Structure 1
């Protein structure tokens, strides 16, 4: 079936008009894949199982699948339909753009497949890992969900009619943490938003400095909700809410303007500590019940900076933006205060990626040791709760590696299928302890096969970054650290003579870049000296460091335990066996 396109984890197809309320009858995690085409899912972490529910406005077949690339080939799919009162459902995989092939091992378990006059609903379950070579593992990485449906049912399980609707979207399936918005007593909220007309420039950073609300007592922020007006959603790339120094006054308050204009740069660049962050694809961030972001004490911020990165490649004029954050807070204090820090590779042109290479890695170094260690003071460990990983268009993978005493002991955050259009704060399954003095290495991988010139580190969307924003408890004075390489170290690594950055840039532009030469430079830059910049509320430190040896990642052997054991193909199942799980009356009430 050429052109079947993408299909991911059981999804519905709504083609007959009408709409659906996303908060009625769906599982906790929800996505609208297309008009009247919904996917929702629920996790059983202990049993390593995920249940999917697909709802679509169609009476034909529906299909959904997961893939690492967004394409049909090697995608892992579920396809089902009802015909003459019988349910047909198969675990399939993609071979090119042909009709998906039925797997020899059926590792998806059908729970329900029903339809009424307008809609089809398909509910099924699968293990996180099936050990079937025709299936894909569900991991913490970003996955591409492919989906399709048609108005007609197949006449043969191997002859599926061409779809009427198809598409692909990115999502993280293994989402940990709360999904239901908490409603503590004595709660309130306030908005931090901009009032700014998006410039007719491809990339622009807007900054505004404002003042937090005055509170008579300490509060905890328990939820951070992004505010993106409909008119702005195609222009806002990411937002960061920073804390400004205690030396700021009401005279420091500014209207929104360019962050990097010379007359304002010093004012904006001093607001370094991060309070909240959001990027395209992100959702509302809900903190765990034991911790909250503090506000209202002498140690807490009074002034903030809201930075918004806009993309306007078509130079659309007259877009007035009121984006920002809604911060929900309560006077019912939690046990711990939450803090945030950033790490990675300093943004600048000494961070570069060669052109036309399939893989190139860069590294950022972070030492969490206190700047001025007091031997009489006990430094509490940091318990990491989650992260937001950030590169731009050519980034494909990001990892934050955890080192102690020179050896890697774990991976704090990673995304092996990074998607620029889905950047969100991701909660860890369990908090991870970071001792003061542990080292964090941020490793970013890029693919520039479609670029003919060097990609430089910088602020623009077509430039590159390698950053991770981490949040933790209990809050301390540590606010971040990153590393960079200077002109001399880069020139020495390349074994060239350059005393001005312009000379080095010219050499790099004229370099004979191949996969082999790029791999050689990658190793030399990794092994060269890095300059580490550590930031605390009370000061900063600059030291010279080297990236530690990074061991190869071990692949965990697969076990069939927990899978459904390669059950027989589920086709011709009497509708009565599954219809009890779905209430047709519910359709009539909400559709």
Structure 2
């Protein structure tokens, strides 16, 4: 590159300066290779156009693409490089195989700026969100899988590319979401809530540690949470959740106490700690609340005890490691306008979440019914709540998630939709526009699963091989309702399998068929193991569980669980935009 610096250093300096100036105008950024921090991407959204700026630690070519699933095949790709003479070559490409991507006949990626210095290549390019070219990919709201690559040398000519080798990868990003406000007030303070966990050989461990909430000297607002991940342990931490409790728990007794779930010494008091304050998932960033709201601590009715849950995933069965990861709490004495509330929607973690094997797109739904929501609002004289953020959660089989909103039999625009959900990237997202939820509204969380690689039924459960279907909402004003969820009733499943008459068996402590005779007395688990699943059976099973009776959880901060049965709702029309 010596000739480049000798002959066109002034041009390069101008280009790099331009790129540096443009840097301040970008609203989002991320390292696409967070472990190495060699490929830094910035981006911004302008109406129907998105602009990217890639800063990569190479003096060779740079590649970037929009992928359907994190794989090269089917990706919409742009490649570019700056020559020794300062010329830039940039091409719109597509990949139909794992080989050199083809140059697209329609060049829809637009180069806006480029340059090199002694260590990095800078490329700035833009494109429309929606393109009519069949080889391009539309960029949608929700999770986008991007791929990246680079080489340490320039190609021999403008259209050539050499194999990139190991300098490649994929990452999930929320390209179109509202940027988080990370500007902190001058008086911001922090508390670190950290584990001291000696890693067990088991693959799945839910680890809990108690923390006494310090005396803040009065009410404060928590305005952000950040993950504190011990270097090298990022891959073993699936999620970290912070809870408060339904009962009064002695904070002095349990401060610093740690236990695995289901251990003999697990405190009975901790079973009431079901009020989730924050949820961080693998691949996510920190959570920074909008300027108008914060989580209240230090006030007369605020929690005095936190319980942190960490899901450790250890498929290699490593031992001899101590993990000290956790959560950082950022708080301020400059109180914001509203106290935040946090509510969990969707389905309870239970064996009544059942997904047949071989399913391409099996849909489950958990409903927050008006009975629960309206009662909670009336008890606190609240006419409506404002939803400002959403957090989705499933496990490995999850592919899509959606939060639907129904009022007076009419489906309103979805509160949140992620048609490309990624288990390894689960982030709390601020909404582009606040959503008002009124008394009488339904809130429905739909999860779509793919189990084509499984031969057995997948049940709801805690391990990553089992499944969950959650949708958490951040809202104001705060209220005591913490869970508003539903699961299919077991009688509905039995009906789907052919039962014509069902009863509760005290001997089995479960629902069983009476008729037909060949099914009599058998539990749902026994019947499921004998099914020869085909597409018709899967579809019948899905339809019945979504339209039959449900068991509903309506859990408030200061009451026990209320459970009852309720039929499915009717939606008068489809959503007002294409699915």
TM-score (norm 1): 0.84
CA distance in 1, matches of 2:430, 2:379: 34
Residue 565 of structure 2: aligned partner: 544
Shift of 1:239: 0.9
Residue 50 of structure 2: aligned partner: 50
Residue 425 of structure 2: aligned partner: 422
CA distance in 2, matches of 1:380, 1:196: 45
Q: Does 1:460 align with 2:463?
A: yes
Shift of 1:234: 2.1
How many residue pairs were aligned? 533
Residue by residue over 1:64-107, the C-alpha shift from the partner in whole angstroms, topping out at 9 and shown as x without a partner, is 00112122222111111223432111222222234323333333
Contact 2:374–2:439 under 8 Å retained in 1: no
Residue 32 of structure 1: aligned partner: 31
CA distance in 2, matches of 1:371, 1:261: 38
Residue 316 of structure 1: aligned partner: 318
Residue 439 of structure 2: aligned partner: 436
Shift of 1:417: 0.9
Residue 7 of structure 2: aligned partner: none
Contact 1:140–1:173 under 8 Å retained in 2: yes
CA distance in 2, matches of 1:267, 1:378: 31
Residue by residue over 1:389-424, the C-alpha shift from the partner in whole angstroms, topping out at 9 and shown as x without a partner, is 111111111111111123211211221111111111
Runs of at least 5 residues in structure 1 that lack an aligned partner in the other structure: 1-23, 558-591
Q: Evaluate the alpha carbon distance shift between residue 273 and residue 436 of structure 1 in structure 2; reply closer, same or farther with a 3 A threshold.
A: farther
Q: Does 1:169 align with 2:171?
A: yes
Residue 381 of structure 1: aligned partner: 384
Q: Does 1:184 align with 2:204?
A: no
CA distance in 2, matches of 1:410, 1:381: 17
Residue by residue over 1:453-492, the C-alpha shift from the partner in whole angstroms, topping out at 9 and shown as x without a partner, is 1111111111111111211111112212111234333212
Contact 1:26–1:53 under 8 Å retained in 2: no
SS in 1 for 2:97: coil
Shift of 1:269: 2.3
Shift of 1:542: 2.1
Q: Does 1:345 align with 2:365?
A: no
- Note the aligned Cα RMSD (angstroms): 2.5
Larger RCO (CA under 8 A, 6+ residues apart): 1
CA distance in 2, matches of 1:346, 1:320: 32
Contact 2:493–2:541 under 8 Å retained in 1: no
Residue 359 of structure 2: aligned partner: 357
Residue 278 of structure 1: aligned partner: 280
Residue by residue over 1:336-380, the C-alpha shift from the partner in whole angstroms, topping out at 9 and shown as x without a partner, is 111101011111112111112211111111125447468797313
Shift of 1:33: 2.6
CA distance in 1, matches of 2:378, 2:414: 29
Contact 2:385–2:475 under 8 Å retained in 1: yes
Shift of 1:265: 6.4
Residue 78 of structure 2: aligned partner: 78
Residue 523 of structure 1: aligned partner: 543
Residue 91 of structure 1: aligned partner: 92
SS in 2 for 1:332: coil
Contact 2:251–2:304 under 8 Å retained in 1: no
CA distance in 1, matches of 2:28, 2:375: 45
SS in 2 for 1:230: coil
Shift of 1:155: 4.1
SS in 1 for 2:218: coil
Q: Evaluate the alpha carbon distance shift between residue 314 and residue 525 of structure 1 in structure 2; reply closer, same or farther with a 3 A threshold.
A: same
Q: Evaluate the alpha carbon distance shift between residue 373 and residue 151 of structure 1 in structure 2; reply closer, same or farther with a 3 A threshold.
A: closer
Shift of 1:122: 0.7
CA distance in 1, matches of 2:456, 2:416: 30
Residue 60 of structure 1: aligned partner: 60
Q: Evaluate the alpha carbon distance shift between residue 36 and residue 425 of structure 1 in structure 2; reply closer, same or farther with a 3 A threshold.
A: closer
Contact 2:363–2:447 under 8 Å retained in 1: yes
Contact 1:259–1:265 under 8 Å retained in 2: no
Contact 2:187–2:332 under 8 Å retained in 1: yes
Residue 129 of structure 1: aligned partner: 130
TM-score (norm 2): 0.86
CA distance in 2, matches of 1:190, 1:85: 49
Q: 394, 397, 401: which is aligned to 2:397?
A: 394
Q: Evaluate the alpha carbon distance shift between residue 525 and residue 295 of structure 1 in structure 2; reply closer, same or farther with a 3 A threshold.
A: same
